[in-house]
Amino acid sequence: MKELQERIRKEGKVLPGNIIKVDGFLNHRVDTHLMEAIAREFEKYFDVGGITMVLTAEASGIALATICAQEYNVPMVFAKKAKSDNIEGGLYRSEVFSYTYKKKVTQILSKEWMGPDDRVLIIDDFMANGEAVRGLCDLVSQAGATLVGVGIAVEKGFQGGGDRLRASNINYHALAVIDRVDGDTIVFRD
């Protein structure tokens, strides 16, 4: 997606440790009009007319997933990081290793909000090693729901998460795949 790649090139910053910061428009300050453009772009790759919900992970995926759910006219559900005491009873759980937080995180989802009749599109803003998405796919599977696809705005292509998904039979699409970083220059995969 040209518009997204241009924003990353223009406003993205490369920090030590291959951290790519896009927090001026994607995941700290959020440009909602860009989110709308991304939501429309995903419609080229996923049959959004057939989904019953958009699923994402707390926290930074919520903004994009909300705009997508609005565009596709379905609810947005986000898996929470375990800890809160305000969710009763039956939960799906998955354990993932967070690259950002350098520790294990438990994603939880109330059984009330996903079941066998659901057709789920997973949306996230950013993917590195793909752990958060792996956990979300696992929640969909626990619910006996149908995974329609996985849509990611920005993929760090050199960390393997996207390649594993492309090698699976999941309908996976990322709108900007960063292949490598040459000094300060961000190089995209074609």
Could you say which of 106, 110, 129, 146 contacts a second copy (CB under 8 A)?
110
The answer to whether residue 3 forms part of the interface with a second copy (CB under 8 A) is no
The footprint of a second copy on residues 131-160 (CB under 8 A) is none
Between 44 and 102, CB nearer to a second copy: 102
Residue 13 in contact with a second copy, rule: CB under 8 A: yes
Total count of residues recorded for the chain: 190
Return the bridge partners of 149, or none: 121
- Exposure pattern of 93-113 as b/e (b: 16+ CB <10 Å)? ebebebbeeeeebebbbeeee
Site string for a second copy, 51-90 (x = CB under 8 A): --x----xx--xx--xx-xx----xxxx-xx-xxxxxx--
| Number of C-beta neighbours around residue 129 at 10 A | 17
The nearest distance, CB 57 to a second copy, in angstroms, is: 10
Instruction: Count the site residues for a second copy by CB under 8 A.
Output: 43
Q: Please, what is the angle between helix 32-42 and helix 2-11, to 10°? A: 140
Measured between alpha carbons, how far apart are the two ends of the chain, in Å? 10
Q: By CB under 8 A, tell whether 32 contacts a second copy.
A: yes
